[in-house]
Amino acid sequence: MVRIGEIGPGTIAEALELRIGTRILTVNGERVLDGLDFMFRTAEIEIEIETVGPDGGPVVYQISRDPSERLGIVPARDKIRECANECVFCFIDGNPPDARAPLWLRDDDFRLSFTFGSYVTLTNLGPRGLRRLVDQRISPLYVSVHATNPAVRVRLLKNERAGLLMEQLTELLDAGLEVHTQVVLCPQWNDGPELDRTIRELYALGEGVLSLSVVPVGLTRYNLNRPVRLLDAAEAETAILQTEAIRQRALANRGHHWCYAADELFLIAGREVPPGRYYDDWPLLENGVGALRSLLDGFETGKGRLSPIDGVERVRIVTGTSMGPFFERMSAAIATRMECAVEVLVAENRYFGPSVTIAGLLPGADILRAASDSTGGDLVLLPGEALNDDGLFIDGVPLSEVAAQLSPAIVRSGIEVVETLAAP
C-alpha cells in the first residue's frame, strides 16, 4: 500500500479530485507494495486503482489515458529498508554519540540504489525480492560486494546471507539486469589475494557488471581499529597496481576500463590523481570516483572567467585536510584573476576525528573555528557538499548560523570556485 503524497496540477489525478493522504491498495487488481511498485504498475494505458480516502471510504477509479497524459499521483515517501548486517567497517558505528537521529539510519534499500545510486548488499532480499527486481527490470543496481569469497564476505558483513552474493548476482545478470559494484578495501581483511579474486570473479560474470570501484575504508575516532584499521601508503599503492591489469584487459575487450580506484586511494598512496581519460565517461562521478579530477579540470577550464568582485578584498576557502594542497595550488590563479588575496583555511575535523579528511563531512562548528577571524571584505567559500538539502552541516549546525557568526564577511556555499564565482 502507498499513500498519495502530492497531486500534480493539471493532471488526471487533479481532475479526479484525488486527495493527499488517500491510500492506494491495488492497481489492476495487484497489491501495491511501495512507491516504486506503483510507478511500475501505473505505466499502462488502462488502469484500475482501488483506493481508500482519508475519510475511510473506498473508491475504485477506472482510468483510460493517452500515453502523453500525466497521471499526477506522487506517492508519499516509503519507509526505508534497513540494513541487516553488522559490517566491521560500518561508518554509522563511527558516529559521535550525540549525532542527529537521521545519521543512525542504516539503509540498505534497493529502491534507493535504483533511483539514487546508493550501494546495497542484497542481504535483506530473499527469492521473492530478487524475483521482483527481475520482473520489474529494476536496473542498474549498485551493489556493495567487498569480497566474492563467501567466507570473507560473511566475516566482513557478519551475516550468513552475505555468502549468497555470487548466486544472487548470477540470477540478476542471467535475467539481463546490470549492476555497478564496489569494494570497500579493509587491510588484512579483503585486500591482497582476496582483492585479486574479487576483481577476477566479478569480471568473469560478464558485461552485465558495468563497473567495479575500489574504495579505501573510512573510519572515525569512534571506530578506528575496532577492529579495522586504515590503509597505509604502501597498501594503497598495491591496491592501485592490482586494478591496472584488469583495466587494460577491459579496455581491449570491452572498450572501457571497467575498474576504477577511488580518489582517496591515490591520495593515501601519495600519487597524483589520474587524468580524465582514466574515468572513461565518468560512470561513478556521482559516487565520488573521479570527483577530484573533475574539480581540477573544471578549475583549469573555467578560471579565465574569474574576475574581481566589488568589496571583496580577500577570498578565504574552507576545506578539509585532504583537499588543502589542491586549493593551495589553485590560489595563485584565483588571486591573479580576482585581484585580491586568497587564503586556504584547512579545517581539522574534530567532530569525527582527524582520520576524516574530506570536505563533505566537515561540521559547522569546525568550519566556524577555522574561519572565525573573517572580517568585512572577506568572501568565505564553504564546502557545499557538506550541506544537506535542509541547509544543515553534519553536526546539525545550519548554514544560516555559520553565515551569521562570520558576519560581516560574505559567506557562500560551494567550494568549487569556478562554479561559485565564474558561472557564465
Question: Residues 96, 98, 101, 102: is their CA dihedral positive or negative?
Answer: negative
Q: What is the mean pLDDT of the chain?
A: 94
Same structural domain for residues 366 and 331?
A: yes
pLDDT, tens only, 356-412: 999 999 999 999 999 999 999 999 999 988 999 899 999 999 999 999 999 999 888
Total domain count, the chain: 3
Q: Is 424's pLDDT higher than 60?
A: no
Judge whether 25 and 9 are in contact, CB under 8 Å: no
> How confident is the model at residue 412, as a pLDDT?
84
Mean pLDDT (whole number) for 286-300: 92
> What burial class does residue 312 get, using C-beta atoms within 10 Å of its C-beta: 0-12 exposed, 13-18 middle, 19+ buried?
middle
Judge whether 110 and 125 are in contact, CB under 8 Å: yes
Query: What is the CATH number for 411?
Result: 3.40.50
Same structural domain for residues 49 and 104?
A: no
> How confident is the model at residue 414, as a pLDDT?
58
Residue 83 lies in a domain: no
Q: pTM for the complete prediction?
A: 0.91
Query: What is the CATH number for 213?
Result: 3.80.30
What separation, in Å, do the N-terminal and C-terminal C-alpha atoms of the chain show?
A: 46
Residue 264 lies in a domain: yes
pLDDT, tens only, 151-167: 999 999 999 999 999 99
Look-up: residue for cell 493527499? 20
Query: What is the CATH number for 52?
Result: 2.30.42.10
Judge whether 81 and 114 are in contact, CB under 8 Å: no
Instruction: Write out the residue range of the structural domain in which residue 25 sits.
Output: 2-75
Domain boundary residue, one of 49, 75, 101: 75
Same structural domain for residues 122 and 220?
A: yes
> How confident is the model at residue 413, as a pLDDT?
72
Same structural domain for residues 282 and 329?
A: no
Judge whether 266 and 240 are in contact, CB under 8 Å: yes
pLDDT, tens only, 43-65: 999 999 999 988 888 999 999 99
Mean pLDDT (whole number) for 92-112: 93
pLDDT, tens only, 302-351: 899 899 999 999 999 999 999 999 999 999 999 999 999 999 999 999 99
Residue 294 lies in a domain: no
Q: What is the three-class DSSP state of 317?
A: strand
Residue 170 lies in a domain: yes
DSSP code string of 97-130: TT--GGGG--B--HHHHHHH---B--TT--HHHH
> How confident is the model at residue 49, as a pLDDT?
96
